[in-house]
Chain A
Amino acid sequence: MLNSKKLSIFTAISAAAIATSLITPTANAALPNLPTLTAGVLTIGTDDPAYGPWFDSNTPANGKGFESAVAFAVAKQLGYPASKVKWVKASFNSVIQPGKKNFDFDINQISITEERKNVVDFSSGYYDVAQAVVSVKGSSIAKASKISDLSKVALGAQVGTTSLATINSIVKPSKKVSVYDSNDLATAALTAGQIKGLVVDLPTAFYIAATAKNAVLVGQFPAQAKSEQFGLVLSKGSALTSKVSAAVDALRANGTLKAIADKWLANVGGAPVFKK
């Protein structure tokens, strides 16, 4: 039995509720309903340590660095503000293993190849990769301009990188290649003189040349017929792949990717290109 007092209280409360919902910003309500690991939160993985110029101070969450910026831009394109992005550590092996991943997508300078697509899903490429060579001042290849100059010396690369594949397929060195766990150790070997040249992607080469003692950028390899690209990695058959890919395509189309590259890879200017 509705008496007038109860009715008026009820009307007042419901009016207040409607008014509040109209005034409150709709940011919270607009979170996309995507099948992420944690509802309402986008979990992004990367390796530890996270190197420059891709990240800054090993802190992916600070938004500084090319890949950190791209990740936050993709998240925003999908509808997740920076406060709803969670970063987790994902070693390279944990990214390529079959089975459940602990992230929605991973961003870690991983190149897209057909063979790898059998095991994981890739988004569209967010960066076109060029490979480059770093050496030390005064070494025999510090001023090399031809690929054939490089084939006579001891070269090194990080394990699992397409840099290693570049050495084996393009340079075809006569000396055995040295392979390192990480670019830190490879740089240590370079400064210790155990390798004469270190092959890494171009932005990393600029970073090493700027930060490591006596290191100098020798040059970059000419662009290959099939251009190599970095892509975001998702679990095979993930429901997010098409959405994430579309987000990357949109960012490329509206110029965001180029703007981010110009901001964080600005000093990655023209390195001399090797001739045959």
Chain B
Amino acid sequence: MTYTPSTLRLQREAARRQASRRSTTIALISTLGVGAGVVLVVTGAKGFQLVRQSFFSLHYAVHSFPSVLSGIWLNLRVMVVAEIFVLIFGLLLALARTSKSPVLYPARLFATVYTDIFRGLPLLLVLLLVGFGIPGLQISWIPNSAVLLGTVSLILTYSAYVAEVIRAGIEAVNPAQRMASRALGLSQAQTQRHVVLPQALRKVTPPLLNDLVSLQKDSGLISVLGAIDAIRAAGIETAQSFNFTPYLVAGAIFVALTIPLTRFTDWLTRKQDRARQQQGRW
């Protein structure tokens, strides 16, 4: 006997379909209305033609695209290298700060002082001090490259922030987990490696990805030491032509690079929430 839905069910489904169609139409009308309102206000403004020529010029967008793109390549390289070292160094600092053993006290002290100082110093200051100050010491084995010293400054500053984020994750792991693993006979090191850290790092993945997105933008600050990143390349083009479109091109590329990261963060968070709800897995 095949299943045929009852009239009541058919009526219910029809009503649901109608309701959803109505809400979609209203959403569409509302969006179009707001969009039209914004367009009218902007294009009706007195200076619109001038702004359009200065900020949205297709000619200068095309003209500046190659140099801005090669600038972005520098941003990406700096971001990738810096992020790897930031994660490693941040993890070490966080472990030093959360250790309870008395023999590691100097490490704990160093980590506390380090995070305080480098979260307090503005990144620009660190860049100038490291970028122009260290070559002044004339230590021969330190290469005098703006990109290298700039990346080192980024690593120094960002590991302080990341260390605090990871430390928060470690301390948020339920103490019962640690007690249980000790009861099972795991040593301190094994507890950290197999029980605490996996949970802690999974917890703080969204803030860490947030820091990565922020690092992608701050990688451009090494331009203060002379390296040509995307924003600087845009600035060079702008100064020649007195047209601001290259900055918009750089901005668009940055946003295009950020969107995959942010969508990835959302997907990861949703996956973890679902796993936690359905399977009780952490």
Contact = CB atoms under 8 A, between A and B. Distances in A.
Interface of A: 92, 96-99, 113, 115-116, 118-120, 156, 159-161, 164-165, 176-181, 185-186, 188-189, 191-195
A18 B45 CA distance: 51
A120 B240 contact: no
Contacts of B260: none
A179 B226 contact: yes
Nearest to B52: A98
Contacts of A159: 232, 235-236, 239
A92 B239 contact: yes
A100 to B, nearest CB: 9
Contact of B236 (A119, A179, A191): A179
A163 B244 CA distance: 20
Contacts of B232: 159, 179
A189 B226 contact: yes
B139 interface: no
B239 to A, nearest CB: 3
A156 B224 CA distance: 12
Given A96-B238, A178-B146, 9 more contacts: A96-B239, A96-B242, A98-B54, A118-B242, A119-B241, A178-B228, A180-B224, A189-B146, A194-B145
Contacts of B251: none
Contacts of B224: 180-181, 185
Given A115-B241, A179-B236, A99 B144 contact: no
Q: How large is the interface on B (under 10, 10 to 19, 20 to 34, 35 or more residues)?
A: 20 to 34
B146 A116 contact: no
A116 B228 contact: no
A136 to B, nearest CB: 12
A9 B165 CA distance: 88
Interface in B161-190: none
Interface in B192-234: 223-228, 232
Given A115-B241, A118-B242, A119-B54, A192 B223 contact: no
A189 B225 contact: yes
A118 B228 CA distance: 27
A191 B243 CA distance: 33
B262 interface: no
B102 interface: no
B106 interface: no
B20 interface: no
A165 B146 contact: no
A194 B225 CA distance: 9
A165 B242 CA distance: 14
A165 B241 CA distance: 12
